[in-house]
Amino acid sequence: MRFFLFLAALPLLSADADLILHNGKIVTADVRFNVVEAIAIKAGKITRTGTSIAILAAEKGPRTNVVDLAGKTVLPGLIDAHVHAIGAGLSEFKSKLPPLDSIADIQNYIREKAKTTPTGEWIIVPRTLPPRLKEQRFPTKTDLDVVTTHPVAFDGSYVWSANTAGLKLSGITRDTPNPAGGEVVKGPDGEPNGILRAANQLLKGIRDEARATETERQQALETMLKLYAAAGLTTVGDRAVTALDVTTYQALKAQCRLPVRAVLTWRIDASRPIEKIEEEINAKTWTTNQGDERLKFGTFKVTLDGGQSVGTAYQRMPYGPYGRQLYGQTNPDARGTLFVDREKLTRIFRAARNKGWQLTSHAQGGAAIDVLLDAFEALDKEKPIAPSRSHVMHGSFMSEEAIARMKKMGILADVQGGWLHFDVPALEQVFGYKNMRYFFPLQSYLKSGIIIAGGSDHMIGHDKNRAVNAFNPFFNMWMSISRKTREGKLIYPEEKITREQALRMYTNGSAYLHFSEKTLGSLEAGKLADLVIIDKDFLACPEDDIRHIQALATVVEGKLVYGTL
């Protein structure tokens, strides 16, 4: 009899919540976008939301941790669908990076590094984007020749430059042939001016991230993930992992050192013969959704073109005369670089889809977007592509026609609203204001029913606001809402989105992209308890205050990973 009485008491005890947050403004981001006072959490999942009175009466027990929010706002855990966490973590793992906002800043950085770098060893200026420099031009060898005792290289992403010592060490002269798809840029005297357009592979002896030990890589990644948590992020999509990166992530998970969730995108080297690529795809056991909600594979990726920040994004229109100053281009009719042609891309994607992958491609320029959509359409004719949730990555220079094609096929968009703030002032000078009409057209996407996932493309730096690119989700949401460039100019205000839409972009939209909409992305009973408590009212504070919102506490699966409760 006593045995059965004890069993009968178990359901009553197990009903008690582990954690109750009440007396707050809890934005659920559910279908109705309800705002409630309280939320109850048990065993890492949300059990109920509602009024404080109701939740406390139904869910509070003797062991429940009850937190009075005192009116603070709670949002679903924010999801940055596009970061490069390991590289970013390593970028400041051993020393802090100074702001590099001008060529003078870059020169000071080189001088300081020369004091501690052994003579003759490379000094690498961390990835810095020329449109964001005060001078709005690409550094040349003359700019980098502030030291002569070291070879120096400037990392501008798809375009690099080197000083005189770096060119000499690498054997780069006026007679060096251009590599396939690249250019050794010459000055008026016919000599290399230091700029290497899609030709940084010619530089010899440069160390890369792989030189870090595995222990260092794990420490750097863990540090970066903790910084994401401090920014209010509970899930990130790492958008270009290698086999080595996968090993690092798996090691952290095995050691219970993943403070936030991670969804991994496998980027393949598409420059090789198609047969080798197909062989590698088929040999790998990886595929979309392999893993669990803490760590899993997401997307298969090909890099289709270069970058808008260095004039290698494959455009529908030429970069024109201003491209010489900003990018070091010698041909005003240049339209950028397409790394993979339409037929090869389609064949690569076909092999990946047959393996069960969700598909995407880095595509910044408008012409690259068109090629990507051509490949999607070819596959769509064979079998509908919409169920794979394949998507355009970046898609900076969109068009009305491309949006219509995406809508027809059910293609999603991985977008970086923050680029509107940083890059438009320079890009407008290159292409003209009218050609910026569909630069991240967020409202046009939404009106067409296209799901958008918010991301930063964070690559370098640990400061959430100063990094390349800023990974502060509130800054990126603010920019999508305001569309104010760094000069204070509105860029096509008709493409502004509302606060609700911006929040959904960083919650519902990214969760859907990750096939996680049933477990993440909103605060509803049965879903995993990922949330962030913030210091301002996201829905009601002055618009310009949104970018300054701070996370007070970040919770992943009911456990505090940043701040205090």
Over residues 507-555, the pLDDT tens digits come to: 999 999 999 999 999 999 999 999 999 999 999 999 999 999 999 999 9
Final residue belonging to a domain, choices 193, 209, 225: 209
Joined tokens for residue 489: 């100019």
pLDDT band at 10 (very low <50, low <70, confident <90, very high): very low
Joined tokens for residue 221: 């990644």
Task: Assess if residue 469 is contained within a domain.
Answer: yes
* Domain shared by 106 and 249, yes or no: no
Residue 95 has pLDDT above 70, yes or no: yes
Contact 514, 297 (CB under 8 A): no
Q: What is the mean pLDDT of the chain?
A: 94
Task: Assess if residue 30 is contained within a domain.
Answer: yes
CA distances from 395 to 182, 307, 364 (A): 23, 11, 5
* E runs forming strands in 77-178: 78-83, 123-125, 152-155, 159-162
Task: Assess if residue 460 is contained within a domain.
Answer: yes
Q: By C-alpha distance, which of 379, 395, 393, 299 is closest to 345?
A: 379
* Domain shared by 495 and 401, yes or no: yes
pLDDT > 70: percent of the chain: 97
Determine phi and psi for 233, rounding to 5 degrees. -90, 140
pLDDT at 7: 33
Mean pLDDT of 291-297: 98
pLDDT band at 237 (very low <50, low <70, confident <90, very high): very high
Mean pLDDT of 169-186: 94
Determine phi and psi for 426, rounding to 5 degrees. -80, -40
Q: By C-alpha distance, which of 523, 532, 530 is closest to 550?
A: 532
Joined tokens for residue 91: 């970028």
Task: Assess if residue 125 is contained within a domain.
Answer: yes
In this structure, the chain runs to a length of: 565
Residue 362 has pLDDT above 50, yes or no: yes
- Lowest pLDDT segment from 58-67, 105-114, 208-217: 208-217
Q: By C-alpha distance, which of 97, 174, 175, 107 is closest to 140?
A: 107
Q: What is the dihedral of CA 202, 265, 302, 177, to 10 degrees?
A: 0
Q: What is the CA radius of gyration of the chain?
A: 25
Q: How far apart are CA 541 and CA 549, in angstroms?
A: 10
**3-class SS of residue 261:** strand
pLDDT at 11: 37
Final residue belonging to a domain, choices 186, 209, 232: 209
* Domain shared by 494 and 351, yes or no: yes
pLDDT band at 177 (very low <50, low <70, confident <90, very high): very high
Task: Assess if residue 561 is contained within a domain.
Answer: no
Exposed/middle/buried for residue 256 (C-beta within 10 Å: 0-12, 13-18, 19+): exposed
* Domain shared by 292 and 175, yes or no: no
pLDDT digit string, tens, across residues 329-353: 888 899 999 999 999 999 999 999 9
User: Residue 402 is inside which H or E element, if any?
Assistant: helix 400-409
* Domain shared by 190 and 116, yes or no: yes
Residue 3 has pLDDT above 90, yes or no: no
Q: How far apart are CA 169 and CA 150, in angstroms?
A: 10
Total domain count, the chain: 3
Contact 123, 152 (CB under 8 A): yes
Return the exposure string of 121-131: e unless at least 16 CB atoms fall within 10 Å of the residue's CB, then b: ebbbbbbbbbb
Residue 478 has pLDDT above 90, yes or no: yes
Domain span including residue 9: 2-71
* Domain shared by 519 and 537, yes or no: yes
Final residue belonging to a domain, choices 167, 190, 209: 209
pLDDT at 208: 63
Residue 328 has pLDDT above 60, yes or no: yes
Contact 447, 508 (CB under 8 A): no
Task: Assess if residue 320 is contained within a domain.
Answer: no
Q: In CATH, what number is assigned to the domain containing residue 286?
A: 3.20.20.140
Joined tokens for residue 90: 């390593």
Q: In CATH, what number is assigned to the domain containing residue 136?
A: 3.10.310.70
Task: Assess if residue 559 is contained within a domain.
Answer: no
* Domain shared by 521 and 424, yes or no: yes
> Taking the model in full, what pTM does it have?
0.94
Q: By C-alpha distance, which of 417, 557, 526 is closest to 479?
A: 417
* Domain shared by 403 and 490, yes or no: yes
Q: How far apart are CA 260 and CA 222, in angstroms?
A: 9
Residue 12 has pLDDT above 50, yes or no: no
Task: Assess if residue 323 is contained within a domain.
Answer: no
Joined tokens for residue 393: 């990555």
Tokens 């090869």, residue? 344
Determine phi and psi for 187, rounding to 5 degrees. -85, 180
Determine phi and psi for 20, rounding to 5 degrees. -125, 125
* Domain shared by 54 and 150, yes or no: no
Exposed/middle/buried for residue 177 (C-beta within 10 Å: 0-12, 13-18, 19+): exposed
Joined tokens for residue 276: 């080798």
Residue 5 has pLDDT above 80, yes or no: no
* Domain shared by 47 and 144, yes or no: no
pLDDT band at 476 (very low <50, low <70, confident <90, very high): very high
Mean pLDDT of 493-518: 98
* Domain shared by 345 and 421, yes or no: yes
| Position 146, amino acid | V
pLDDT at 450: 98
Mean pLDDT of 132-150: 95
pLDDT at 309: 87
pLDDT > 90: percent of the chain: 91
Q: How far apart are CA 221 and CA 100, in angstroms?
A: 23
Contact 44, 528 (CB under 8 A): yes
Q: In CATH, what number is assigned to the domain containing residue 35?
A: 2.30.40.10
Residue 480 has pLDDT above 50, yes or no: yes
pLDDT at 498: 98
Tell whether the torsion through CA atoms of 510, 511, 512 and 514 is positive or negative: positive
Q: By C-alpha distance, which of 466, 305, 483 is closest to 394?
A: 305
Pairing state between β 152-155 and 123-125: parallel
pLDDT at 8: 32
Determine phi and psi for 266, rounding to 5 degrees. -90, 115
* Domain shared by 235 and 158, yes or no: no
